[in-house]
Amino acid sequence: MTHRVLILCTGNCVRSQMAEGLLRHLGGAAYEVHSAGTRPNGYVSALAIEAMRELGLDISAHRSKSVSEFEGQHFDTVITVCDSAADDCPVFTGAPQLIHWSIWDPGAATGSHEEKLAAFRRVRDDLASRIRSFLAPR
């Protein structure tokens, strides 16, 4: 049986998109993974796409989605990756497992392209570590 996971953030353009790509890759066929935003930005960040490509993962075909697209659906696990999504998401409180990860938004990074990309890499690697822990046998 497939474990259904919904990853939520506010804009669904960086953290939740990277987490979706990572969990799909690391979890394989045992996981059906979706991501959404409470206030979707309507795009996936180019820097998120670039950071994920470095791992050989292509999220360029992902799209920014609203959490409303998933209302009424059952998920085994709902993971929020930003504080505002955790606060704004009462819809999925019936999921058997609710997880909150307070992840800094690398979209707030300043500086050169390389400095911004380094921030995206740090968040990507943090998400990968958390996802590996989530997938580890209990």
Annotated catalytic residues are: 9, 82, 89
Which are the contacts of 33, defined by CB distance < 8 A and separation ≥ 6? 5, 7, 20, 23, 24, 27
- Residue carrying the six token digits 């979209």: 107
Question: What is the chain's Cα-based Rg?
Answer: 14
Which are the contacts of 4, defined by CB distance < 8 A and separation ≥ 6? 31, 32, 34, 73, 74, 75, 76, 77
Query: Residue 126 in contact with residue 57, Cβ under 8 Å?
Result: no
